[in-house]
A and B are shown apart, each in its own frame.
Chain A
Amino acid sequence: MIHFDCVSKRYPPGMDALSALSFTVAEGEMVTITGHSGAGKSTLLNLIAAIEKPTSGSVLVAGQNVGSLSRTALPYLRRRLGLVLQNQQLLFDRTVFDNVMLPLAITGFPPKEAAQRVRAALDKVGLAAREKALPIALSGGEQQRVAIARAVVSRPAILLADEPTAHLDSATAADVARIFHEFNRAGVTVLIATYDAQLFPAVRSLHLDHGHLIPSIPEHSLTRASC
């Protein structure tokens, strides 16, 4: 589903955020991306969503090279992804309902079905009762769950989440982790960048260290030399 082939990302002053990354995430798989702050986790997710372009190498999403997508094709890639960003980026002048509705409004979903889907998504994250509230009236955990509902409302095949449990108390974080597991069980490919891998036990982890992928099985280190 997602394939990185010798991907490097260098930010302008000459800072290598990612170096020669190669890995594959299978369809329906759930993977965490771990590593210290500044290891390159966000950069990796941004490359998948074509928010950034790789300096070299190729990023394939469902067989499509996202680094070379045209401007007109880009929106259609993004519609196949569910994004939960590091800062949730909710619109604070709109209700919870309208925030979750946004992706469907963008794709031009028929309004009646859209409303049903929004309610279903809010129900899944346990916020069915808060649809009329403004985001400012919600706790941090609730806001994070609104962002998750917005990411899944269009039923994307891939869900990308960047530190979705940051700033949450451990009970709330566990709750959010459980929601991601549920989506994965429903067949969604899930990538979560997190500093707290213990929240997702028994999940394959891609560990980054200063932009390098640290292999969990030693012989995989041979692939790096081939770039």
Chain B
Amino acid sequence: MLNTWLHQHRLALRLALRRLSKTPWITLLSLLAIGIAITLPVGGQLLLDNARQLLRNASTTPQISIFMATSARRATADALSAKLNNHAAVARFQFLPREATLARIKTNPNLREVVEALPDNPYPDAFIVTARDDSAASLDALAEEFRQWPDVAHVQLDSAWVRRLDAFLRLGRNALALLDGLLAAGLVAITFNITRMQALTHRTEIELSQLLGATPGFIRRPFLYFGALLGLGGGLTACVLVTLATWWLDRPLADLLYLYDIRFSLQPLQLRDTAVLLGASTILGWLGALLSLGQRLRRT
């Protein structure tokens, strides 16, 4: 039973491969059309990933400044130090004792007079915290947490840049999702049409098979393999195109960015993304063929 099933699928696959190889130019051009269509969103994803990488590298990571109350005692500050040390969301931090800040200010001759006229040290103890996760949301949450801590007078988060980056990435992601949707529809449309042409070419074979007692499943099977193979081949073509483009652009881009003092190398397509891409294109090709045949087989 299982053997029969496997055998039937092997036959269908072989038939699909034979049909593809019988019209090599049509197959090649179809693969190129699908491949180029997929290259757009895949290239977009690659650009977005790399842009995120580049922005992270090029800008200083956002930091949170914690200012203690001037009345706070050093023991409280030490306790906060220990707390920050053990905090899961904190990557690293720096403690700025108020004496050190005062000393630094006094090196500026203009400010020195003003500061020395004051009876007390006007500067509080402070911490400069770098968070592990630099998304705007988690930075906001962390700052809010710090505000609740004892003797904390003021927490300052320079989030404008983070928000800008976030907005930019969100726009990029949405644009990509749109592109993905368009591509998926395009891929289905392409395989739909090619499968339809195939079904027309093999009309006698379909009709004859029906007369000989073939079930719709049997007739559909080689065409589904045909569509899936087109999708898979198109996906592979896209991978090759994107890899070639990465290779082609990596050097000049690195040279250009070097002039801005940024060291950067284009990241190629990740293995996981490649797997998702190939899987999705195969399924979409299969779907295009299925829709195309559903229409045909119902009519006969």
B198-237 interface (Cβ within 8 A of A):
204-205, 207-215, 218
Known: A110-B3, A110-B7, A111-B7. A78 touches B205 (CB 8 A): no
Residues from chain B with a CB closer than 8 A to the CB of A85 are 211
Is B204 a contact partner of A106 (Cβ separation < 8 A)? Answer: no
Q: Among the listed B4, B207, B211, B212, which residue makes an inter-chain contact with A108, where contact means beta carbons less than 8 Å apart?
A: B4
- Separation of A76 and B209 alpha carbons in the complex (Å): 12
CB distance from B13 to the nearest CB of A (A): 13
* Chain B residue nearest to A106 in the complex (CB): B214
Q: How many Å lie between the Cα of A99 and that of B162 in the bound state?
A: 69
Docked complex Cα distance between A89 and B208 (Å): 7
**CA–CA, A163 to B270, complex, Å?**
64
Q: By the criterion of a CB under 8 Å from any partner CB, how many residues of chain A are at the interface?
A: 24
Out of B5, B208, B210, which one reaches A91, CB within 8 Å? B208
B214 / chain A contacts, CB cutoff of 8 Å:
75, 106
Contact B208 A102 (CB under 8 A): yes
Residues in A whose Cβ lies below 8 Å from that of B212? 78-79, 83, 102-103, 106, 150
Min C-beta distance of B31 to chain A, whole Å = 22
Q: Is B8 an interface residue (CB 8 A)?
A: yes
A69 CB–B CB distance under 8 Å: no
Per-position binary interface string of chain A over residues 75-97, scored 1 when its CB falls under 8 Å from any chain B CB and 0 otherwise: 11111010101000101010000
Cβ–Cβ contact B209 & A106, under 8 A:
yes
CB distance from A118 to the nearest CB of B (A): 14
Given contacts A89-B204, A91-B204, A83 and B8 within 8 Å (CB-CB): no
Name A's interface SS. Answer: mixed
Q: Which residue of A lies closest to B3 (CB)?
A: A110
For the complex formed, measure the closest distance between the CB of A157 and the CB atoms of chain B, giving whole angstroms: 13
- Chain A nearest CB from B271 CB (Å) reads 38
Complex Cα gap A76–B214 (Å): 8
The interface residues of chain B lying within 8 Å CB-to-CB of A51 are: 211
Per-residue interface assignment for chain B, residues 76 to 90, with 1 indicating a CB less than 8 Å from any chain A CB and 0 otherwise: 000000000000000
Please indicate the chain B residues that have their CB under 8 angstroms from the CB of A102 in the complex. 208-209, 212
**B residues within 8 A CB of A216?**
none
**Chain B 173-213: CB-based contact to A (< 8 A → 1; otherwise 0):** 00000000000000000000000000000001101111111
**Which listed residue (A106, A110, A111) contacts B213, Cβ 8 A?**
A106
* Cβ contacts under 8 Å, A93 to chain B: 22
- Looking at B204, B207, B211, which has the most chain A CB atoms within 10 Å of its CB? B211
> Which A residues lie within 8 Å of B5 (CB)?
108
CB <8 Å contact, B7 and A76:
no
Chain A residues lying within 8 Å of B22, measured Cβ to Cβ, are 93
Is A68 positioned at the interface, with any CB of B under 8 Å from its CB? no
Q: How far is the CA of A77 from the CA of B22 in the complex (A)?
A: 34
Chain B residue numbers with a CB within 8 Å of A75 are 210, 213-215
Q: Tell me if B240 is interfacial: C-beta within 8 Å of chain A.
A: no
B100 at the interface (CB under 8 A from A): no
List the A side residues contacting B205 at CB < 8 Å: 91
Q: How long is the Cα–Cα vector from A110 to B4 in the complex, in angstroms?
A: 6
Contact check, B211 vs A76: say whether CB atoms are below 8 A apart. no
Q: In the complex, which residues of chain A have a beta carbon less than 8 angstroms from the beta carbon of B11? A: 105
Docked CA distance A85–B212 (Å)? 11
A-B contact pairs, 8 of them (CB 8 A): A51-B211, A72-B215, A77-B213, A78-B210, A91-B204, A93-B22, A110-B4, A110-B7
8 tightest CB-CB pairs across the interface, nearest first?
A78-B213, A79-B213, A108-B4, A75-B213, A106-B214, A103-B212, A75-B215, A89-B208
Residues of A whose CB lies within 8 Å of any CB of B are: 49, 51, 72, 75-79, 81, 83, 85, 89, 91, 93, 102-103, 105-111, 150
